[in-house]
Structure 1
Amino acid sequence: MGILLLVVFLTLGISGLCSLFEATLYSTRMGALEAASSGGSLSHLAKRFINMKRQIDVPIASILILNTIANTAGATIAGMYAAEILAPQFAVPFSILFTLGILFLSEILPKTLGAVYWRRTWPLIVWPLIMIRYALQPALVVTQAFTRILTRGQSISPVTEDEIIAMARLGEQSGEISPEESGMVRNIIELENKHVREIMTPRPVIFSLDAQITVAEALPQVNARGFTRIPIYEEDREHIVGYVVFQDLSAARTSNLSHTPLRDIAKTISFISETVNCLTLLTTFLKFRRHIAIVSDEYGGVAGLVTLEDLIETLLGAEIVDETDRVVDLQQSARQHRQNPHGLGGGGTMAIS
C-alpha cells in the first residue's frame, strides 16, 4: 500500500509541477521580465527566463515530455499495484479517483495558480526548467528535429499595435495604469494614422499680421491676444512668408527698433501637406526644433496652421488652454465661423500660440 500511495503522490506532484511551469511560462509578461532584468536581485533570473520565452518551444517540449512520462508511468505502475493490493470491486473507483485527482490537482489547480500568481512563481521555476531541459536533452533533440520541419520558414509574430492598445486597456481595468496613461498609449499609437488636417487650426481662425507693419504697430495687437508665434503675410493671407516671435518683438522695442518692419525680424516658416501624418510631423518638429508650420492644401493654398502644441494636445487627448485663450477648440470655432461669418469678434480671426 505504501508503494501505491508513493506512486500516486509522485504522479500527481510531478504532473502538477509541469502544469504550474507551463502556465507560468505562458502567463509571464515580457514587459515585466524586461523591467526585472534591468536591475535588482532577480535580473539574472529574468534574463534567463527571457531567453526561454524567446525560444519557448524548448521549455514547453521539456515540460510536456516530463508530464507525459509521469502520467503514463504513474498510471501504469499505480494500476499494477492497485490490481495486486485492492479488491476487484475497488479497481474502478480507484481509477476514477486517480483520474479526477490528475484533472483537478495536477491540471486545473496548478495552471490556475500559475496564470494568476505568475509574478511570484516565475523566479521559482527558472532553475527547475533548466535542469529538466538538460535531463531530457536526448528526447528534446528528436522533438526539435520534428518541430523544425513543421515550422520551417515560420517565426513568432511580433506584438501588434492592436495588442498594445488592448494591453493598455487591460492595465487600466486592473488598475496597473491610470485612464490617462492608457489614453496616451492609444493616442501615441494612433498618431501615425492621423493626418495633419485633423488637428490643424483652420485658415478662417488664424491670426496673422502684414509683414510690412512695424514692431510698434504689431505689439498692441499681439498683446491683446497673448500669443507667442504669429504668421506674417505679404499682399494677402494666402501668401505667408514667415512668422514672428513675441519675445523678438519685445526685444526689438527695448532696443529702439520699434519702427522695424516685421519682415526684418521674421523667422522662416515650414510648409507641409495636409496629408502628412502626425507622427512624421512630430518627428520633424523635434529634429529641426520647430514649433509651427503652415499646412498646404492639394492646390498649394493655405489650409491651416499646426503647432507643436496641437500635437501635444493630440497625445494628451485634451485641449491645452491658458488664461489668455478666448477659444478652447479652434476647429469648432472655424465651423461656427463658416455658418455665421459675423459671429466672431475682432474681425473674425483668432490667434494661435
Structure 2
Amino acid sequence: MVALVAFVAIALVVSFFCSVFESVLHHLTPAYVINLEKKQSCWAGKVRWLHDNLDRSLAAVLTLNTIAHTFGAAGAGAQTATVFGDASVGLFAAILTVLILFVSEIIPKTLGTNGWHKLAPYTAVCVGFLVKLQMPLIWLAEQVTRQLTPKHKKNDYLREEISAMADIGEEEGALLGTGSDLLKNMLRFRDLKIIEIMTPRSVLFTLPESMDAETYLQTCPDNAFSRVPVYSDEPDDINGFVMKNDILMAYHQRGGSITLGELKRPIIAVLENESLPRLMSTLLEQRNHIAMVVTEYGDIRGIVTLEDMIETLLGREIVDESDEVVDMQQVARQKWAERLPSQLH
C-alpha cells in the first residue's frame, strides 16, 4: 500500500511542478526579461538564460513530465493489481486519470498562467538544474527538432499582435483611446510612403523669389504658413523656402525692398517612395521641418513637413484658428475632379 501511494504521489507531484514550469515558459516574454534587466534584478541573468534557451528548457520539463507519468502510472497500476486484485485496475486507472487531469494539468497550469511573473525566477533556477541533469536526452531531442525548425525564424504576426494588444489595453483601461491609436499608427508608419501624406503640388502655396517684402505684406497679409516655398522663374522651379518670421523681421530691420530670394533657405529634396521613418530621422538630424518631394526624374510632386508626419502618427490633422482647410490632399483631388471634365471636352 505504501508503494502504491508513493508511485501516485511521485506521478502527481512531479507532474504538478512540470506543468507549472511549462506554463511559465510559455508565458515568458522579452518585455518581462528586459524589465528585470533594467531594474538590475538579481534574477535577471537566470531569467534571461531561461528565455534564450526556451527550447532546451521545454525539452527538459516535458521529458521529466513524461517520465513521471509513465513511471508513476506503470508502478501504481502494478501495485494496485497486487494489493486489490486485477479487477480493480480499471477503476484505479479511471481515478488516476481524473487526478492527473486536475492535479497535474488544470490546477498547476492555471497557477502558472496567473502567477508567471512571480514564478519565473524560481522556474529559471529549477529548470536550469533540470537542463544540466538531462543534457544527453536534450541533446538528442535537439538533433531531431533542428531538422524541423526553420533556420531563420521570423515572427510575421508580431505587429498584428502588438496592434491587438493595443485594442485590449484600451478595452481594459490600461491605455487611453489616443494611446491605443498612437501605438497602431506607429506600427503602420514605416509602411507609408511620403506621397501618401504630402501636400500635392497642385495646391501648394508658393511665391516667386523676386517678390519683395513690402509686396508680400500687401498681397499676403493673412498668410497662415510659417514656411513658404519659393521659385525662380516657374512655379515648378522651387529652389528653397522662406520663413514668415524672417520676412517680417527683415521688413522692419532692412526695409520693404529686400526680396524673398535674399531670405530664402535651402530645401532638401527627397524621392516620393522614401520611407517616412528615414525622412523623419533626416529632418530631425538636420533640424529641418520641410522637404521637397520629387520623382526619380526630378519632377516636383509636392511638399512634406515634419507636421505632416506628426499628424500621421497622431492619426488626426493639427489645425489652428487660421487653418481654413484641414486636408490638402482632399482639396487636390477635388480640384483634379473639377478640371477633368473640361479636359475631356
Structure 1 range deviating more: 318-327 or 213-222: 213-222
- Residue 170 (structure 1) aligned with residue 156 (structure 2): no
Aligned to 2:7: 7
Matched residue SS, 1:238:
coil
Query: Which of 231, 252, 255 does residue 254 from structure 1 map onto?
Result: 252
Aligned runs of 1:24-35 on 2, under 5 Å?
A: 24-35=24-35
Letter in 1 for 2:247: L
Aligned to 1:295: 293
Percent identity at matched positions? 31
Matched residue SS, 1:322:
coil
Aligned to 2:217: 219
Aligned to 2:129: 131
Could you tell me how far apart the structure 2 residues matched to 1:30 and 1:122 are? 12
Letter in 2 for 1:229: R
> How far is the alpha carbon of 1:195 from its aligned partner?
1.7
Count the aligned residue pairs.
336
Structure 1 range deviating more: 318-327 or 139-148: 139-148
- Residue 190 (structure 1) aligned with residue 188 (structure 2): yes
Matched residue SS, 1:74:
helix
TM-score (norm 2): 0.88
Could you tell me how far apart the structure 2 residues matched to 1:228 and 1:65 are? 68
Letter in 1 for 2:301: A
Could you tell me how far apart the structure 2 residues matched to 1:168 and 1:28 are? 19
Could you tell me how far apart the structure 1 residues matched to 2:202 and 2:223 are? 16
Encode CA deviations 1:151-187: one digit per residue, 9 max, x unaligned: 68x4461434x42232231243143444433433333
Matched residue SS, 1:283:
helix
> How far is the alpha carbon of 1:309 from its aligned partner?
0.7
Could you tell me how far apart the structure 1 residues matched to 2:11 and 2:219 are? 85
Could you tell me how far apart the structure 2 residues matched to 1:241 and 1:139 are? 70
Aligned to 1:351: none
Aligned to 2:155: 159
Query: Which of 95, 98, 119 does residue 96 from structure 2 map onto?
Result: 98
> How far is the alpha carbon of 1:220 from its aligned partner?
4.8
Query: Which of 223, 240, 254 does residue 242 from structure 1 map onto?
Result: 240
Could you tell me how far apart the structure 2 residues matched to 1:2 and 1:93 are? 19
Letter in 2 for 1:17: F
> How far is the alpha carbon of 1:19 from its aligned partner?
1.3
Structure 1 range deviating more: 117-126 or 171-180: 171-180
Could you tell me how far apart the structure 1 residues matched to 2:128 and 2:52 are? 15
> How far is the alpha carbon of 1:308 from its aligned partner?
0.8
Aligned runs of 1:1-353 on 2, under 5 Å?
A: 1-39=1-39, 43-147=41-145, 150=147, 154-155=150-151, 157-160=153-156, 162-174=157-169, 175=172, 176-297=174-295, 300-340=298-338
Contact 1:194/1:277 (CA < 8 Å) preserved in 2? yes
Could you tell me how far apart the structure 1 residues matched to 2:214 and 2:225 are? 16
Could you tell me how far apart the structure 2 residues matched to 1:188 and 1:221 are? 40
Contact 2:81/2:88 (CA < 8 Å) preserved in 1? no
Contact 1:165/1:186 (CA < 8 Å) preserved in 2? no
5+ unaligned residues in a row in structure 2: which ranges?
A: 340-345
Could you tell me how far apart the structure 2 residues matched to 1:20 and 1:330 are? 57
> How far is the alpha carbon of 1:321 from its aligned partner?
0.9
Encode CA deviations 1:225-270: one digit per residue, 9 max, x unaligned: 2221001112221111211012211221232343211101100112
Could you tell me how far apart the structure 2 residues matched to 1:220 and 1:59 are? 76
TM-score (norm 1): 0.86
Could you tell me how far apart the structure 1 residues matched to 2:26 and 2:271 are? 46
Contact 1:12/1:105 (CA < 8 Å) preserved in 2? yes
> How far is the alpha carbon of 1:138 from its aligned partner?
4.3
Q: CA RMSD in A?
A: 2.4
1:155 to 1:114, Cα distance in 2 relative to 1, 3 A: farther
5+ unaligned residues in a row in structure 1: which ranges?
A: 342-353
Contact 1:165/1:185 (CA < 8 Å) preserved in 2? no
1:60 to 1:274, Cα distance in 2 relative to 1, 3 A: same
Could you tell me how far apart the structure 1 residues matched to 2:125 and 2:268 are? 58
Structure 1 range deviating more: 6-15 or 215-224: 215-224
Encode CA deviations 1:196-231: one digit per residue, 9 max, x unaligned: 111111122211111111122223555412221001
Could you tell me how far apart the structure 1 residues matched to 2:44 and 2:163 are? 23
Matched residue SS, 1:231:
strand
Contact 1:11/1:70 (CA < 8 Å) preserved in 2? yes
